Chain A
Amino acid sequence: MARLSSENLETAYEIIARYPVKKSALIPLLHLAQEQDGWVTDVAMAHIAELVEVTPAEVIGTCTFYEMFKRKPVGKYVVNICTNISCQLLGGEELLHHAEQKLAIKAGATTADGLFTIEDVECIAACTEAPCLQVNYRYFHKITHGEFDSLIDDLKAGTRDEIPAHGTLAKVRQHIPAARRAGAVAPTDRAEPVWLIRNRQEGAS
């Protein structure tokens, strides 16, 4: 519940350095904050504002536009059930109702033990695998009600290590090695790329 930790701050600087304009790092940094705390706190937003040199109001403006950023604590597992057209046609809404019953909460709510949040979401790009869902953005295709129940039971039992706690997106991060870095190109950097110049000159000669 705090500013970015020193380790995350290192990552934050690395991310910021990739962009020609600092503010571009805003969304990745909000993800980083969410990974740290499970949700995006005001304190973290204020810290990000400092890092990318904008006002906190601008950070919250961006943050609240995007569904994935939670401004209140959510469950350790956020279960996103797709009810959009392809899934709807094949029982997505029924799956959602089943989930609501199984966990005894309405979509949008979090279970009392803080383990699960259910969300009724839009298409998650697995349409041919309907009905489908995600747990912390990990896919489960063609889910039956029975399979849903055992998934929940497994999660409760803690036997699904492949699913990290809410907030962690990619477990692999991009790292650009210093020696291989071409560098961020600022919008004010008006030079023509060298390979174009070279080719033109070779073409002319």
Chain B
Amino acid sequence: MSDTAAPTTVAITVNGVAVEAKPGELVIDACERNGVYIPRFCYHSRMRAVGMCRMCLVEIDGGRGPALQPSCMVSVSPDMKVFTESPVTKKAQDGILEFLLINHPLDCPVCDKGGECPLQDQTMAYGPGESRFVEEKRHFEKPIPISDLVYLDRERCILCDRCTRFAKEVAGDPLIHFQGRGNLTEVNTFPDDPFSSYFSGNTVQICPVGALTAKPYRFKARPWDLEEVESTSVVDSVGSRISVQSSRDRVLRFVGVDSDPVNWGWLTDKERFSFEALDHEGRLGGPLMRGNALGKLDAKGDQLVRATWAQALGAAASALTEAGPSRVGVLGGARLTNEAAYAWAKLTKGVLGTDNVDAQLADGLPADVVLGLPRATIDEACTPGGVIVLLGPDPKEELGALYLRLRHAVIEDRATLIELTPRSTGLSKFAAHRLHPRPGEVGELATALVADVAPTRAIAGVEPAAIAAATAALRSGKPVTVILGRTSLAEGTDAIVEAALTLRDGFPGVKFLSALRRGNVHGALDMGLSPGLLPGRTTLAASRAAFVDAWPNVPTATGLDATGILEAAASGRITTLVLLGADPLRDFPDAALAKKALETVEMLIAVDLFVTDSGRLADVVLAAAASSSEVDGSFTNLEGRVTAVRQKVTPPGTARADWMIAAELATRLGGDLGLESVEQIRAELAALSRIHEPLATGAFGDRDGVLITGGSVTVAPRERAVVPKSDAYSYRLIATRSMYDLGTVLQHSSSSAHLAPGTAVLLHPLDFDQLGVEAGARVKVSAAKASLHTIVHPDAGVPRGSAAMLFNQPDADVGGLLDARAAAIDVRVERV
């Protein structure tokens, strides 16, 4: 990306030693890269420098004699001389430190930050021994909760502007701000308007002192008791890098790690505080089976009771054997590591011989589309000056760390954003072109976008002028990346696929960044946990022959996807169903179908960390270890980047790694998987899938992992979906997810569980006015399948003719309105 004509280094001297800096580099960074650390408090390499703490003052001679300057604000210039140790520098820095300490409480022994506090470290290293400040220190009311998750102790605050800058610049939620002036300045929220940002926990991480603390971590541990390993967050498919920190075999904290191509150190609160789920009281410490009130096993019992692994695995194995390959289905797998996903793929396809396996729950896209389009990395999507097309879910709600990267690309790096979503998203504010097609009709819109002649009428509800403007942006010659995923759960995938293919064919060079949200779903697809696929991004049809030796029972025909599996289960064609970390009752966009299926199957086997709503109906529940910190393995993010997940703590009770469960089931099914260690799995995978060789060599183990590219999947062409015309009284339903919902991990993260906002039905203000009710009134929302009661609000982000609701919320069963087979869903909204 760098300009080839420009010089690549700048020669400067630091304390008399010649060093090479990069053009435009800040002095503070150039010095650090060359081994000279300049102390700092306000500077943070991922935010704009403000130069306000003054700790990084050094003498800099840019040709006109040495002058004290903040090294975080000055860029290197040729022949610059930097003096970080001169008497004037020392005097200035010692002075600053003393100034910072005069009002800072000396409560290090009871401060969460004690032991990892730059202020404490600086004081130890350089500071004066005794305070010359005899006056009274500044006082504030003791720590105040500024949100559900974060406390602020204003006495400890050194006003570095990091949290406030993060809130505004990075997260775009300026809900905390400096207030007051001079010595009375404080950070605070507006009265009764908390810092409810999805990203608030990052402020705790970047606070250089103990002023901001996280509720879930407060007083839990001292930094010197903590051990850490670097791992990957498995909460969503961004694969943010984290440091897992534990004490006495308990995970106490996830801290964001700065991976340059991925998350830049930032985490969503959902990810950060998901560690709480690891030792939630509902965590499974061993298998469960049907039993009676006395705790005795009883296949007809009305509750789940403890069982031994032998009993549970035995029951599961015999049910699977009995059913035979065509009557078995496996749902889920995105929670698994790559290695576990491989083991389960081999178990189901290679041993059981069924292809009825799907890691997605009909809320994503067909696997051939995900794997078969030219793929982009996050960095490519965020190319300065590039064009980003959002044809997927709201990244702010579903892929928080990606949202931050996209937001940065648009705001700081002048990328042009084009939204092709059914309603506004968290990025709309920054979008240059907001095209909100009617649900189910985005394919037509895409056709209009690539057409040579501009349309003369609205297409899919989008005005011709808006289409022409977006087309011009797409044709600007700048690199185009489509963020591709499921825009709404109330519309089918065909129109989206059609749109994606149209854009691919219409704009040569366009790339796609998958926005499937679920944890390791991309790893699961790469390992073949999808109908018709085999490990290595290849198909049954293409590679079956290459697999038969290692996978003796590999099926010949493509099996059923999630919807197919549930339909088969509901009609008795599938009798044994395995839920591999899946909770279809909550999470499948057709609640009625899921319910019928789970109630009808003869044998329901759940492999999970918790007893989920679906798990409550299970016959056998197998207790699994958590992927983020209880097992070793690897993770594949939405770019196809493989990074390591590492074990830090032992799983509770006898819970075990998912791959081990697969191996033991295989043995009981009479077909040894031949997999005895994670390394062995990687070796076998690499032998079968050339593109996965870096897993065997360990080349993925660094912070940024390794990008797996290639594969032979191609996208099958589709026919245009026919969307039935709505009648004049109906609204097209848009069902999307929010960051907080009834998801399994979230509901077991104690501090965040209650944050699910609930839903309402949102209508465009003009449609709302026509309804003739006041905002907040109760209404009945009816679809073909079901109806529900909720409240209604106007929202200008919803196009006319559409009605938007949130999926999987505590107060309304939106899943019940959905139909996994419908191209679009119409609802009526009536006052009650």
Contacts and interface: CB of A to CB of B under 8 A. Distances in A.
B180 A57 contact: no
B175 A57 contact: yes
Interface stretch (B27-35, B188-196, B353-361, B720-728): B188-196
A105 interface: no
A56 B193 contact: yes
Interface in A94-110: none
Contacts of A59: 190
Interface in A34-88: 42, 45-46, 54-61, 64-66
B198 to A, nearest CB: 15
B177 A57 contact: yes
B190 A42 contact: yes
B176 interface: yes
B177 A58 contact: yes
B45 interface: no
A55 B180 contact: no
A60 B174 CA distance: 12
A37 B193 CA distance: 22
Nearest to B193: A56
B797 to A, nearest CB: 15
B181 interface: yes
A56 B188 CA distance: 11
B193 A57 contact: yes
B179 A55 contact: no
A57 B190 contact: yes
B174 A57 contact: yes
B424 to A, nearest CB: 15
A64 B181 contact: yes
Given A54-B174, A55-B175, A60 B190 contact: yes
A45 B190 contact: yes
Residue in A42, A59, A61, A66 with the greatest tally of chain B CB atoms within 10 Å: A61
Contacts of B188: 57
Contacts of B219: none
A58 B174 contact: yes
B177 A61 contact: yes
A55 B181 contact: no
A61 B179 CA distance: 5
Given A42-B190, A45-B190, A60 B175 contact: no
B190 A46 contact: yes
B190 A56 contact: yes
Contacts of B180: 64-65
A57 B189 CA distance: 6
Nearest to B176: A57
Interface string A12-26: 000000000000000
A1 B149 CA distance: 32
B416 to A, nearest CB: 14
B178 interface: yes
Nearest to A55: B174
A54 B190 CA distance: 12
A94 B780 CA distance: 73
Contact of A61 (B173, B178, B191, B193): B178
Given A54-B174, A57-B174, A58-B174, A42 B191 contact: yes
A56 B191 CA distance: 9
Contacts of B191: 42, 60
Contacts of A46: 190
A64 B179 contact: yes
Contacts of B173: 55
B156 to A, nearest CB: 20
A64 B189 CA distance: 12
Contacts of B189: 57
Contacts of A54: 174
Residue in B173, B175, B189, B191 with the greatest tally of chain A CB atoms within 10 Å: B191
Nearest to B178: A61
A134 to B, nearest CB: 20
B426 to A, nearest CB: 15
A41 to B, nearest CB: 11
A147 B190 CA distance: 43
Contacts of A45: 190
Interface in B140-188: 173-181, 188
A45 to B, nearest CB: 7
Interface string B107-149: 0000000000000000000000000000000000000000000
Contacts of A42: 190-191
Nearest to B180: A64
Contacts of B179: 60-61, 64
Nearest to A45: B190
A64 B188 CA distance: 11
A61 B180 CA distance: 7
A45 B191 CA distance: 11
Contacts of A66: 181
Residue in B173, B188, B190, B193 with the greatest tally of chain A CB atoms within 10 Å: B190
Nearest to B186: A64
Contact of B181 (A56, A58, A60, A65): A65
Residue in A46, A57, A64 with the greatest tally of chain B CB atoms within 10 Å: A57
Contacts of B190: 42, 45-46, 55-57, 59-60
A95 to B, nearest CB: 25
A61 B165 CA distance: 13
Contacts of B178: 61, 65
B828 to A, nearest CB: 33
Contacts of A65: 178, 180-181
B646 to A, nearest CB: 39
Contacts of A57: 174-177, 188-190, 193
A142 to B, nearest CB: 31
A88 B48 CA distance: 43
A46 B192 CA distance: 11
Contacts of B177: 55, 57-58, 60-61
Interface string B282-313: 00000000000000000000000000000000
A187 to B, nearest CB: 14
A58 B175 CA distance: 7
Contacts of A60: 177, 179, 190-191
A45 B190 CA distance: 9
A61 B189 CA distance: 9
Nearest to B192: A42
Contacts of B174: 54-55, 57-58
Contacts of A55: 173-175, 177, 190, 193
B237 to A, nearest CB: 30
A55 B179 CA distance: 14
A45 B178 CA distance: 15
Contacts of B193: 55-57
A80 B175 CA distance: 33
Contacts of A58: 174, 177
Contacts of B181: 64-66
Interface in B179-219: 179-181, 188-191, 193
A49 B191 CA distance: 14
Contacts of A56: 190, 193
Nearest to B164: A61
Contacts of B175: 55, 57
A55 B188 CA distance: 13
A45 B193 CA distance: 12
A57 B177 CA distance: 6
A58 B195 CA distance: 12
Nearest to B184: A64
B157 to A, nearest CB: 15
A89 to B, nearest CB: 25
Interface in B525-543: none
Given A54-B174, A57-B177, A61-B179, 10 more contacts: A42-B190, A55-B174, A57-B190, A58-B177, A60-B179, A60-B191, A61-B177, A64-B181, A65-B178, A65-B181
12 contacts: A42-B190, A55-B190, A55-B193, A56-B190, A57-B175, A58-B177, A59-B190, A61-B177, A61-B179, A64-B179, A64-B180, A65-B178
> What are the nearest 8 A-B pairs in CB distance?
A61-B177, A56-B190, A57-B177, A64-B179, A57-B190, A57-B175, A65-B181, A64-B180
